[in-house]
């Protein structure tokens, strides 16, 4: 009898430890950012040079300093210049989702600036804090966030402006 009782209690304990939560929670934390800034630098190839600023109201400013044509080393003048606009709801949700997947407080970019590659810089304002991240070789855990930021630079429906602006870039 003691063996059966022990067995039943063990099974109940095991099932309670492995049971999935019944509510719709995820491991994703919501990060409410005030502003995110994204910079890329040129490389010896066709790396685009972008300077992007996104506010929490979805407005954005982009200075596309150098963007190459898809089939050549020629600069594509239709994609370079100063632009303003808004991030779509879907893309903004994707940006927030990727930010929520990271532990921003502990995220670090290695200080590697050698060789041939584009330096990626992200400056994030959130919860009264400022996080500065910059590296030629960011960690893999930030790759999806960087991909979304590149996507915003390349695929946003933006309006060209003749107004010049500077986007923060200092540490």
Q: What is the CATH number of the domain that holds 141?
A: 3.30.1560.10
Whether residue 4 is contained in a domain is answered as no
pLDDT, greater one: 29 or 24:
29
| Within a domain: 21 | no
Contact 34, 128 (CB under 8 A): no
Encoded tokens for 98: 């990727």
Q: Is residue 15 part of a domain?
A: no
What pLDDT is stored for residue 30 in this prediction? 63
The pair of structure tokens assigned to 87 is 């991030």
Query: Structure tokens of 140?
Result: 């893999």
Question: In whole angstroms, what is the distance from residue 91 CA to residue 85 CA?
Answer: 13
Closest CA to 129 of 111, 158, 104, 92: 104
DSSP assignment string, 102-133: S-TTT--------SSSPPEEEEEEETTEEEEE
pTM (predicted TM-score)? 0.80
- Owning domain of residue 75: 33-161
> Is 25 contained in some domain?
no
Overall number of domains in the chain: 1
The arithmetic mean of pLDDT across residues 5-9, rounded, is 43
**Is 24 a member of any domain?**
no
Q: 20-24, 114-118, 141-145, 159-163: lowest mean pLDDT where?
A: 20-24
Task: Give the pLDDT of residue 171.
Answer: 67
Question: Looking at residue 73, what is its pLDDT?
Answer: 87
How much is the pLDDT for 113?
87
pLDDT at 6 over 90: no
pLDDT class of 54 with cuts at 50, 70, 90: very high
Give me the pLDDT at residue 29, please.
Answer: 58
Mean pLDDT, residues 47-59: 96
For residue 20, being part of any structural domain is answered with no
- The answer to whether residue 67 sits within a structural domain is yes
Residue 3 inside a domain? The answer is: no
């Amino acid at each position: 009898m003691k063996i059966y009782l022990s067995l039943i209690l063990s099974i109940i304990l095991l099932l309670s430890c492995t049971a999935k939560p019944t509510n719709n929670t995820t491991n994703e934390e919501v990060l409410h950012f005030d502003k995110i800034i994204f910079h890329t630098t040129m490389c010896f190839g066709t790396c685009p040079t972008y300077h992007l600023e996104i506010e929490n109201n979805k407005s954005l400013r982009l200075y596309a300093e150098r963007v190459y044509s898809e089939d050549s080393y020629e600069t594509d003048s239709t994609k370079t210049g100063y632009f303003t606009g808004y991030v779509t709801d879907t893309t903004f949700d994707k940006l927030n989702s990727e930010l929520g997947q990271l532990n921003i407080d502990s995220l670090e970019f290695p200080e590697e600036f050698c060789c041939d590659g584009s330096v990626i810089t992200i400056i994030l304002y959130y919860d009264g804090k400022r996080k500065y991240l910059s590296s030629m070789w960011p960690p893999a855990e930030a790759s999806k966030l960087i991909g979304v930021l590149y996507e915003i630079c390349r695929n946003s429906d933006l309006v060209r402006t003749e107004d010049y602006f500077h986007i923060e870039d200092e540490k």
